Structure 1
């Protein structure tokens, strides 16, 4: 496909994303960054984790985006007393004919909202591993594949809050993006108060896209061109988070010595893959057929913040993952 044809396809399919964001904006005030990250996950097939204190419209945003697509949607409210069968389903014994039948759980949907995912115990969180990575689940002896598109959009409260369980590294690594949701600006908060507390009717979300259009959009995003120098930059950014290789005391090639004592565990190669995919989607949403280093740099915090574990030394110095990532991005040469 030549460049003019690709530009034409990007212009055509980016209008689908514009319709989705416009439909969500009918109900939601502000939070454009959160919406754009959800759209990136949607058009790349990557799961998205939203973190923020209660009341920042995380659940409302995810459910509104899901309702704007003409497809199956399920919401799972995670609680401390849940069992894995409450998520993936279970086998039920039929005494009449002495047979077992499978009752599918709410995970069997195209779009799944995992609400307050870190309020569930470890066994329930582990039940999502196969579903998120392999896009299938095993119940008894049967394996069931999910229909495309399949996407988990999860929300969680800050881990310091009471009644939360930290997500295991193996599961949190399955999320393509982890976006921190901030408080709205004063202007946006005033609009929220006027809209919700003003007695006006809340607009209904109507579907403006189909699953087929989402899958076609994903195919176009894959065609966005990325120069070798930009690919190298994405790999360098990820490798800079790794303090050492498998040999103790030996720094990883491409790692940043200044951060050697700050990072206990760096990002895996999955982060490099996700960073490049997210960069393509970022360029697509911007109407471009090529990826720039700015696309990579803009998405790097969302792709990496949940894949890095700080050392005690870094925490003692008051470092946070976000501040360390910003310092790291400032040190990695940009092509």
Structure 2
């Protein structure tokens, strides 16, 4: 069985467990293939936790959930040194960040020090405690969640820290048909328990798949289109005076890299060995929405980053 077929089956299996959230399932797999991290925003009860737990069931790796609260300390995430009286020495006790899949639940409820500790681990793939540095596992994915309903007493992530996330995914309520299917699945699980994962993917298969994704062909015209989108976000006034009035800062070079990796991963997941402009457009919202900073004027007019991205997609021509 080919790797593409294996990941295609994994995608189908996850979609059967996470009903009505096909985009979340797809973005989780893209993050896994692109070696990045995911920020997911949605109301409570939309299967955010269930999604990453289901992925963990299908992966050869361990999973840990961290509930972020205002009284959380950085050492609660990274671990700390503990004094051992019997030896007279300090031993490092690893924290929950030393797992393959980590769910940072309601990341905006913890203060900046805790957020920084997590984001350093995401960016550097290591933890520094005192004079020592501890590397994290090569297979390491963080899915952080935010609740858009309750914002009182929260600590919103600064734009520079948001840039650490490969994608910022917004999810909504499922359709009526999907809701019925969720109800039937929940009844069945309550009666018979959750069935074991039919598809298991090893860490070596994930790394092999990442190599395959990096070799997916991107024509020069598609690359030019990708670059044009990012560059237009930095100087949008050339395309459209209103865009220039709405946008304070555009996407960073990290956004360019993320757009490239996500478009390649999506193409590979869809069973192709080449990237199309539609792949770039498909992932553009999730890759760019947290990397654009709007002006006060735009916010006062009720504009959102998605409004700007939609206008960019309409204005930037696909290179022939």
Taking structure 2 as the reference length, the TM-score comes to 0.94
Partner of residue 178, structure 2:
188
Question: 1:144 matched to which residue of 2?
Answer: 134
Indicate conservation of the 8 Å contact 1:117/1:154, yes or no.
Answer: yes
- Is 1:106 the counterpart of 2:120 in the alignment? no
- Is it true that 1:233 corresponds to 2:220 in the alignment? no
Query: For 1:1-335, what aligned pairs fall within 5 Å after superposition?
Result: 12-158=2-148, 161-197=151-187, 200-206=191-197, 208-243=200-235, 256-335=240-319
* Partner SS, residue 260 of structure 1: helix
Change (3 A) 1:160 1:231: farther
SS of the aligned residue for 2:233 comes to coil
Structure 2 distance, partners of 1:26, 1:294, is 26
- Return closer, same or farther for 1:160/1:115 CA change in 2, 3 Å cut-off: closer
Following the alignment from structure 1 to structure 2, what is the Cα–Cα distance between the partners of residues 202 and 324? 45
Q: How many pairs does the alignment contain?
A: 317
- How far did 1:256 drift? 4.9
- The answer as to whether partners of 1:68 and 1:205 remain within 8 angstroms in 2 is no
Partners of 2:133 and 2:177 lie apart in 1 by 50
Cα shift at 1:160? 5.1
SS state of the match for residue 15, structure 1?
helix
**Structure 2: gaps (5+ residues):** none
Q: Secondary structure at the match of 1:161?
A: coil
- With over 3 angstroms needed to count, the CA separation of the structure-2 counterparts of 1:125 and 1:32, relative to structure 1, is same
- Residue 240 of structure 1 aligns to a residue whose secondary structure is helix
Cα distance change, pair 256–92 in 1 and its aligned pair in 2 (3 A): farther
1:202-233 alpha-carbon deviations (Å, 9 max, x no partner): 42342611111111100100000111221111
Q: Give distance in 2, aligned partners of 1:323 and 1:200.
A: 45
Tell me how far apart the structure 2 counterparts of residues 53 and 264 of structure 1 sit (CA, whole Å).
28
Deviation at 1:194, TM superposition (A): 2.7
Kept in 1, the 8 Å contact 2:226–2:260? The answer is yes
Partner SS, residue 162 of structure 1: coil
